[in-house]
Structures are given as structure tokens and as C-alpha cells.
Chain A
């Protein structure tokens, strides 16, 4: 059936092919727990205990992966590139200033040009919520799309790498109390983490921040809002700190970075409210002294660097699963320690 622009009603089914296999990876919302667990298990096999990933495997030999970054991100792009290379795929990264494709039409034209070059998977980052969905609705049937962050909407691989990190330290999710702290309003990471945590059965998910940065409808996602950091951190097993963008001071959302740090910045003293073995996470890049003090970011409870390493493993898992649907690919055995 030819696609019309008004095919729009793409539900969660958009992420799967006709056989029910993962085709696109756009959002955590609507995915089953068993699938998330399968992705985490796959990622686990790519990761070794030392926080490294396996050496090069031939899973995606002959496949072409294109990183389309309409928004700058050195780290996310690098981990996607590394993940693709370790799967033996050919990788092309294209940075496109958003101004060059302000109109959707030229965005589509560019996609179709790339498709004509027989790309198999697009990794897309874009400043518009829904951009990855839009692209997934319009690519050719043989092409997959992985969302590397769309506007404020979703950043599903980031969420899953955090889930992998939590699972490596805590095992199961059902007894955990997890707090996400900071700018929930504008954070795609937070939205994806909330879906991942609730889908995986986390005991309690809290969000903490000022009312200007916590959407009033946040409860509908199944989380408990707290407006005070100290009480919100009480008894937490995991604390996820979100990056605070400088421009939030301009929209009358916050008075100053200093005041934000005083009230919602994570310090050793405030962290004492959480459980002694609390994990401190941050999707980066960190604003030291704004949302987190260095002593905590570099402290023994911080797993921020492990998150980065897990990022490669999770992205290897997602890309191999999206492209593995065409045939049986043998998984590598985990390397011995």
C-alpha cells in the first residue's frame, strides 16, 4: 500500500515488522518487559565484566548504518559509531545543521537519497519531538530507524543503558526506589527512563524538581513528584541526575544556577538521605556545581563512567536486533574473564 502523508496513526506497532520483530527503535513506551529484558540480556553478552565491550563481531558485516545528527552530540554519536564498527557494519556519520532542513520536505528528500544508496539503518537525532517517528513512517520497508534523541520526547538507548547499569548493580527492579532529579519538563532522557523503569516493574519512581520543571501531568506516567530534594531522596536506591540547560534561566523557569544548586543540586550531605549503597547516575554532560557537586560525580557511588561503557553495548544490542530480523544471526559467546 502506498504511504500517504496522512497515514499518521502510527501506534506502538510502528516499531515492529509484520512478523512482530523489532524493526525500529523509537521509544520505550509500549514495549513489553520481555523485549526490554531481551535487549538488556543481549547487551550484557556484548559487555564484559570490566565494563568493556567484546572485540569486533561479524554480525552486521555488509550492512550500512548512517548516523543522521541534526543536533550536535559528540558522545552519543561516538558510541553509536563505535557500536556499529564493533558489529562490523559500514558507518557513515552526517552532521546536518537543522537550519538546512527546516522543512520536512527536504528532510524526506534527503532520506530518500540516502535510501537510494542502500542504507540499512538510520540513527537519528533531531531537535523536534516525533522526528524519529516521522522518519520511520516514511523510510523504505527494508530500512530501520533508531532514535538517538528527538526533541523532548525520547532517548530510548540512553534509558536502556541506564537500566543495564542499574541491573548490573542491583539485580532486580521490583524492590528499588529510583529518583530522577531536575528538568523533567525538557528531558527526553527522563521520559524514556520513566517508561523503562515502570515497564521493568520498578517499586517506586520519583521525580524531583521545582514546579516550573515538573510537568503537572507527570503522575499520569506512573511516578510520584517531589518538590524538595531532601525528602525526595529518602531511602532511594538509585538517583538519576538530569543536566540543567543554561537557557532555562531565560524562560523565567529558574532564577539562577546558584539557587538551583542550593535547592536541587546533589551534594554528599543531601545524598546521605538515600540508602548507603545508592547509585548516582547522570546521562551527561555534567554541569559540575549546578546539578551535582564534583565530590558526588567523582565519588565511589557514582557509576557515570560505567554508563558510558554500557552505552556501546546497548547500542550494539539494539542495532543488531533491528537488523537481525532478516535472518538468524548467531550471537557471540561472552568472553571469559
Chain B
């Protein structure tokens, strides 16, 4: 299949390209940017006039809920939602049920994702068996089965010696480690940021120091082990400072932030709004501003969705008894564009944070639109406004505090390796038409 996407405005941060350009695709790869290769004749043409062509998004953390929680979402439903959000590569943490700590499960996950066909799924293997923080998981086997990194997800490794060994072993295998920094004792039974709102509502808090102390501890062990490490979903400005300092010293550490942390704060918990119940918790305005600044100056090089779809009942209880998490994969890009709109981030940096940025961390072969690259493409209508609600969200989880928000910028079409995996129905500006031969 030879496809031409014409009339669009190409934004490709990986190659520093930002200009009107047509894209030419043959099979699964891009074969021409700007002009077709010699002898190319398109069988199909996509008219992308007035729209952006950007690399398919890479989401460093999204839970698909399968295996183990199919009442919340399935590989099929959530990878389809991802495609609707322009996400063509999903990194899936190991805390499914059962835990992704053996190669057979990883292979099964990849098979099922491939069968669904909406988005590429990159599994992240467990760092310790069962995520229990006691014995090392079979990291070599996990790597062989296709895991791009290892992580203990949000389960703490209490024993510092176990963490040290785990990092050393991962370093031996040249496997990157994803860390979710939270001191389990300080976080204890907390469910919101410890501060003004936890005090007002009488909810047990998770103090900022729970994250900062864990980051500090982890950094020392990263330096000692030489492992390539990435902090996922950093939530506090103070932790960002520590990471920036470590980067300046040349440590191989990177960090991401979830998109909602760039917009929401503890204040959004309001009067026990369980939709804003999320881990790490929404923190203060000062933290939000610190995270935005860190994204702008590159200390944080990726933004993820931290997508966590939930069933209705999961949020139907008094606040602390509800399950944390936000259904977020479809709002990832429009939220970032909001930062561009507010002139807090350049357009190129915003797109980079969900394409070339995460690509550098976990999947070098994705996230660019150069000749020879995989044809993972999101076509975005930057003008289209849409409201976040139960109808517009494709994910099975409707649990987002952004319900009712009007966002600007919508993915109208997504291609995964040259195949159209999402197309907004009845979109007037987009014509997929077969060129008669």
C-alpha cells in the first residue's frame, strides 16, 4: 500500500523539522518527506489540509487493565482509546494481575495487543518477583520476551539492599529502570497531598517529603550502580531540583510527569471530588509551576498520561475508599497544547515531550517522521474544540476531573505503521480517498 498525506503541516521535533510538507508512505515506513521518492505513485491519498502531521505519540505509562481488571478496561478498549488520542506506542507497567514478572505473560500481552492492532504495546517487566520487593524478577528472560525496561511500578522496595541489587542487576543487562519514588512509611495511608486541602478536609496526607526522600535515596543508588534510570510521574518541585542536580553531575537519569500534574493541584480535590484522587497526589501550585518549568528547560523530557481507567464503582465511595487514578490517554495531547496556548511551552517542545522525548528514554526507533522511520503518525486538527465527556471519551474509564472541560486540538486520524487505526467520524476536513489507478 502506497499512501500520500498531503497538505499538512509537519512538526517533527526529532529531526528539527517544522514546515508544510507532504508525507509519502509505503507499507509500514515513511519513504518520502516533502517530495515523493522517484517512481512513487500513491494508491491512497489523505488530505490533511489545515492540519498538523506529528509523530504518533509515545505514552510512557498507561494501564490497559488487562490482565486482571477487565471490568475497568481491556487491551482492545484502551489501545483503541490510545489511538483516538494519537498514541501509537504505549508503555505498560507490570502491575497487572498477574504481575508481569515472567516472560510467558509478557509474550501473551504482546500477542493480544498485536491482535487488537490499535497501538504498539511495550511491556515493562517487574523489577522484583510479584513486585513484592524481595527477590529479583527474571529480568533477562523479560528482556528476551520484549520488555523495554523494568520497574516495581508503585509498589515500594522497602529494603534498600534489595533495591541496590535490583539496580545493579538491571545495569548488568543494560535494562533501563523506571522508578516511582514514594517512601512507603511517609505516604502510609495518605490519599491527598499533605497540605492545605488535607488539613481542611481531614483526609490523611502524603507529604512532599515522601517523594523527595525516595528520589534522594534512589539517586544515590543509581550513581552507585551506574544503571540507566527514569523517574516516572514526578509530582513535586523539590524532587525535580534533585533530579536536575543529578543530571548536571552527569548521572544517566531522566524524568517524566503526567499531564494532569501540569494543570491540576490539590485545590481540584474541592469537596471530596474522587475523580481527582490520584497517585502521586495532586500537589500545590508551586509544585505545578516547578514541574512546568522543568518541562520547559528539559529536566523533565517526557509527559505521560498515567492512564488509569476505572469502572463506575471504583469511584463510588467516600474519598479515601475510592481507587486512585485518572482516565487520561485521550486528553494527553490537548492538555499539552494548552500549555502552548498559554505561551508556557513552545509548540515544538510540547510535541517533543510526547514523541522524541519519550523515544529517547525507552524506544529509540519510534517518535520521528524521517525517511525510513515507521509510519506512526497522528494527524491533528489544531483548531478543533471538543468537550471532555462520557460520549467523546473512547476509553471505558470515564473517570477524569477534566469532565466538562473544553479542550482545543483533536486527533482526527492516527496511523500505526502505515495503517489507519483511528479516524474521527464525520470529520469534514479529512478525506480519505482511494486514488483511482
Contacts and interface: CB of A to CB of B under 8 A. Distances in A.
Interface of A: 4-6, 8-12, 14, 29, 102-105, 107-108, 126, 128-131, 133-134, 150-154, 188, 191, 215-218, 220-221
Interface in B191-221: 194-196, 198-204
Interface string B332-356: 0000000000000000000000000
Contacts of B198: 215, 217
B270 A10 contact: yes
Interface stretch (B15-23, B161-169, B317-325): B317-325
A108 B322 CA distance: 14
A130 B201 contact: yes
Interface stretch (B109-117, B149-157, B271-279): B271-279
Contacts of A133: 271-272, 318
A11 B201 CA distance: 13
**What 3 A-B pairs have minimum CB-CB distances, sorted nearest first?**
A104-B317, A152-B202, A130-B272
Contacts of B275: 6, 8
A149 B364 CA distance: 55
Contact of A221 (B194, B200, B270): B200
B204 to A, nearest CB: 8
Contact of B316 (A9, A29, A105): A105
Contact of A151 (B195, B202, B271, B312): B202
Contact of A5 (B195, B202, B315): B315
A183 to B, nearest CB: 12
A221 B313 contact: no
A126 B318 contact: yes
B399 interface: yes
Interface string B256-281: 00000000000000111111100000
Given A10-B272, A134-B319, 4 more contacts: A8-B276, A9-B271, A10-B270, A130-B320
Contact of A10 (B273, B276, B315, B390): B273
Contact of B319 (A12, A105, A128, A215): A128
A248 to B, nearest CB: 14
Contacts of A108: 316
A225 to B, nearest CB: 12
A12 B272 CA distance: 11
A150 B196 CA distance: 18
B199 A130 contact: no
Nearest to A214: B199
Nearest to B274: A8
Interface in B299-321: 312-313, 315-321
A154 B316 contact: no
A129 B192 CA distance: 12
Given A6-B398, A104-B322, A134-B272, A129 B202 contact: yes
B318 A130 contact: yes
B390 A4 contact: yes
B196 A220 contact: yes
A129 B194 CA distance: 15
Nearest to A104: B317
B320 A11 contact: no
Contacts of B317: 103-105, 107, 128, 134
Given A12-B271, A104-B321, A130-B320, A6 B315 contact: yes
A12 B271 CA distance: 8
A129 B318 contact: yes
A216 B209 CA distance: 13
A30 B175 CA distance: 53
A191 B274 contact: no
A191 B322 CA distance: 23
A191 to B, nearest CB: 6
Interface in B391-427: 398-401, 403
Given A217-B196, A220-B199, A128 B318 contact: yes
28 contacts: A4-B398, A5-B313, A6-B398, A6-B399, A8-B273, A8-B315, A10-B270, A10-B273, A11-B271, A103-B317, A104-B321, A129-B203, A129-B272, A129-B320, A130-B201, A130-B203, A130-B320, A133-B272, A150-B202, A151-B202, A152-B202, A153-B202, A215-B194, A215-B199, A217-B196, A217-B199, A220-B196, A221-B200
